[in-house]
Structure 1
Amino acid sequence: MGQQAGPSDPRAAGAPAGYPPPQGFPPQNYAAYPPPQGYPPQGYQSYAPPPQGYGYAAPPPPGAPYGAAPYGAMPPPAHLPVRPHQGPAGGAPKPPPGFDRYDVEAQQAAAAAGAWADQQIRKQFVRKVFCIVFLQLCVTVGIACVFMFVNPVRNYVRPGGPGQWVFIVAWVVSLVFLVTLMCSTSLRRKHPWNILALIAFTVVESVLVGCICSYWDVAVVLEAFAVTCAAVAGLTLVAIFGKFDITRKGHVLAMVSGVVFMVLLVTIIVAFFYTSKWWYLAISVVVALLFSAYLVYDIQLVMGKGAVAIGPDEYIFASVQIYMDVIIIFLQILNIMGIAQS
């Protein structure tokens, strides 16, 4: 028997027209059955359909076969941002204006990290160079003490003794080593040959210095050594803490060096015919001042505080330069004090 509609049944009297659906629900077309009267309620706003071209095609019409108008067939509207994978063919799309400002903080952090790394490398380079120079000077002082305080060695290498050939051989070999180290980049950087060449050069140069020290009285040598230590210490402090940049004046030092070299060459030639200790004294003063400037120049190159700096790979080159500056200053001061006291 059919079920009767009760008072609470929506099919009772007062139900809107077209409701309930007839037998055979659900229908084949929902659009044939409009919503009840008064729907939607007042104040309710239905969702508006998406704009044309939002990225989805309109739904297929009623009764259309499945797949006739698939969703997502329309391209996105022009006002939406284009993703990188949706860019035009032939390359990635251009970034929007101001894109280079997105990573300002990352760029600043990377620059700060790079500067910090450069400072650490420079500090390690400075320590290495000064340690090598200190060891070189210690070897030189030790060998020179042997030539000064061991009488058989001193008498053997002094002028008039049978060992004058030691001075000549040491002078020639040290010059060859110096030119090779200054000119051969591969030898200076190839380990361990660079260390072996540096040790050999230091020993030969120390023998040469010892031969020269044996020519003078021990008191004169000690006084020259003390004056040299004070001068080198003062010049080092000036190079490190001075506010000027002498590395910009390298061309001036080169020109002065060329003039001094020509004067020395003429002096050597004239010495075969005429000698003057006062001329030698003046030459020694000029050379001592020139290499004092070179010492400040080379230290600033190592410190990297000027316009020009030596690279961290050239620690052998830097060590030889500073070592030779100190040695030449010492020899010129020794010559000045020896001539003055004689």
Structure 2
Amino acid sequence: MGQGDQPMGYPPPVSYGPPQPEYPPSGGGGYPQAGYAQQPPAGYPMPGSYPPPQAHPLPHMAPQAGPHHKPPPPGNFSGYDQEAAQAAANAGSFAEALVRKQFVRKVFSLVFLQLCITIGVASCFIFVDAVREYVRPGGDGQWVFIVSWVLSLVMLIGLTCSTRIRRKHPWNLVALFAFTLVESVLVGTICAYWQSSVVLEAFAVTGAAVAGLTLVAVFGKFDITKKGHILGMAAGVVLMVLLVTLLIGFFYVNKWWYLAISVVVALLFAAFLVYDIQMVMGGRANAISPDEYVYASVQIYMDIIIIFLQFLNIMGIAQS
């Protein structure tokens, strides 16, 4: 059997690799003749005629655009979003209620200290005869009333109009107790004008009225914070009447007119006391900011002082 002959029963040899191009016979040793376009090998596409890319047969194994463009996982997460929003709302409400409770405690503590200072200072003008006779009308100490009245008015305007004075700690507390001390002297000089029995009766009635108004403000179902504009207009009208009365008082004094004005002012500031307490307690249409504890203390304290002075005036005029 010669070389190149295949033995009987064996398959022909298999050629590996791409098929060889078949060129037309030429004398150029296998190269195409001149003038003929060169043809690509059989089975290879022409340049520029590659087929369009096909979709990946396995979509979950297809290449991704990048880590920043991954599609969201399948499923509905709206339930989880609602639970998270509800949890955040509950946490915010709890924190706000805690801050409001601390604010209420701080305001009423300050008001209690202010009233204790006022009672202590005023007692000196009521029960110490030398001090009482010195500041009464006709005595040498009438300047105490004038000076304390002017200072209390200036300090009250400063505390209510300047946020820097009433918010900068601890100077806001210093200003608050300085104002309380001056106001206490003013109240003491006014109490010195009346008999001790009248002052004590006015004090008892004021205490009962303030306790009742506080219970109404805290447990009442109505919301007086919506009526702030009405209270403001009523206060403006009363202020104008007081100014006219002050001018007329230099020429003519009618005790019944003063009695009527005292009743109106007492009722007005009783409404203001309920309004201010509800503003401090919160949970109404309007509420005062927890940062304004000095301002809130001044408002409630002045409501109580003015109510007391009006009761003192009413009882003093009635008994005289």
Into which bin does the TM-score normalised by the smaller protein fall? 0.7 to 0.9
Give distance in 2, aligned partners of 1:100 and 1:125.
37
Map of 1:1-342 to 2, 5 A cutoff?
52-54=57-59, 56=61, 74-75=62-63, 85-87=68-70, 99-342=77-320
Which structure is richer in relative contact order (CA contacts within 8 A, separation 6 or more)? 2
Give me the whole-angstrom Cα distance separating, in 2, the residues matched to 1:165 and 1:319: 28
The 2-side partners of 1:235 and 1:305 are apart by 18
> Aligned residue for 1:19?
none
Q: Secondary structure at the match of 1:244?
A: coil
Change (3 A) 1:268 1:98: farther
Once residues 149 and 244 of structure 1 are traced to their aligned partners in structure 2, the CA distance between those partners, rounded to angstroms, is 42
2:30 corresponds to: none
Residue 272 of structure 1 aligns to a residue whose secondary structure is coil
Question: 1:138: Cα distance to partner?
Answer: 0.3
C-alpha spacing 1:94/1:52, structure 2 compared with 1 (3 Å): closer
Unaligned residue ranges in structure 1 (runs of 5+) = 1-27, 29-49, 57-73, 77-81, 88-92
Q: Displacement of 1:85 after TM fit?
A: 2.1
TM-score, length basis structure 1 = 0.75
Question: Given that residues 53 and 75 in structure 1 are in contact (C-alpha distance below 8 angstroms), is that contact kept between their aligned partners in structure 2?
Answer: no
Provide the C-alpha distance between the structure 2 equivalents of 1:325 and 1:84, rounded to a whole number of angstroms: 66
Q: Structure 1's 275 and 111: CA in aligned 2 closer, same or farther, altered over 3 A?
A: same
1:149-207 CA distances to partner (integer Å, 9 max, x unpaired)?
Answer: 01110000000000000000000000000000000001111011101100100000000
Give 1:110 shift: 1.4
1:269: how far off?
0.7
1:120-173 superposed Cα distances (whole Å, 9 cap, x missing partner): 110000000000000000000000000000111000000000000000000000
User: Shift in Å at residue 105 of structure 1?
Assistant: 1.3
| Separation of aligned partners in 2, 1:103 and 1:202 | 52
Structure with more of its chain in helix, by fraction: 2
TM-score by length of 2: 0.80
Cα distance change, pair 55–246 in 1 and its aligned pair in 2 (3 A): closer
1:33-89, CA deviations, whole angstroms, 9 ceiling, x for partnerless residues?
xxxxxxxxxxxxxxxxx9615255xxxxxxxxxxxxxxxxx546xxxxx986235xx
| Residue 302 to residue 84, structure 1, CA distance change in 2 (3 Å) | farther
For residues 221 and 98 of structure 1, the distance between their equivalents in structure 2, rounded to whole angstroms, comes to: 73
Compared with structure 1, are the counterparts of its residues 254 and 96 closer, same or farther at alpha carbon in structure 2 (3 Å cutoff)? Answer: farther
**Which 10-residue stretch deviates more, 321-330 or 268-277?**
268-277
Quick one: which amino acid aligns to residue 235 of structure 2?
S
User: CA separation in 2, counterparts of 1:273 and 1:245?
Assistant: 43
Q: CA 1:266–1:97 in 2, change beyond 3 Å: closer, same or farther?
A: farther
- CA separation of 1:75 and 1:169: change in aligned 2, threshold 3 A: same
What is the rounded CA distance, in whole Å, between the counterparts of 2:165 and 2:228 in structure 1? 25
Tell me the secondary structure at the aligned position of residue 308 of structure 1.
coil
| 1:1-53 superposed Cα distances (whole Å, 9 cap, x missing partner) | xxxxxxxxxxxxxxxxxxxxxxxxxxx9xxxxxxxxxxxxxxxxxxxxx9615
SS at match of 1:102: helix
Tell me how far apart the structure 2 counterparts of residues 157 and 322 of structure 1 sit (CA, whole Å): 27
Alpha-carbon shift at residue 103 of structure 1 (Å): 2.0
Residues 331 and 101 (structure 1), Cα distance of their counterparts in 2 relative to 1, 3 Å cut: same
3-state SS, counterpart of residue 103 of structure 1: helix
Query: Using the alignment, how far apart are the partners of 2:262 and 2:314 within structure 1?
Result: 6
Superposed displacement of residue 102, structure 1: 2.9
1:185-231 deviation per Cα after TM superposition (whole angstroms, max 9, x unaligned):
01111011101100100000000000000000000000000000000
CA separation of 1:297 and 1:95: change in aligned 2, threshold 3 A: farther
CA distance in structure 2 between the aligned counterparts of 1:104 and 1:83, rounded to whole angstroms: 30
Distance 2:119 2:284 in 1: 32
Structure 2 regions of 5+ residues with no counterpart?
Answer: 1-15, 17-54
2:52: which partner in 1?
A: none
SS in structure 2 of the partner of residue 307 of structure 1? coil
| Alpha-carbon shift at residue 98 of structure 1 (Å) | 5.2
Partner of 1:14: none
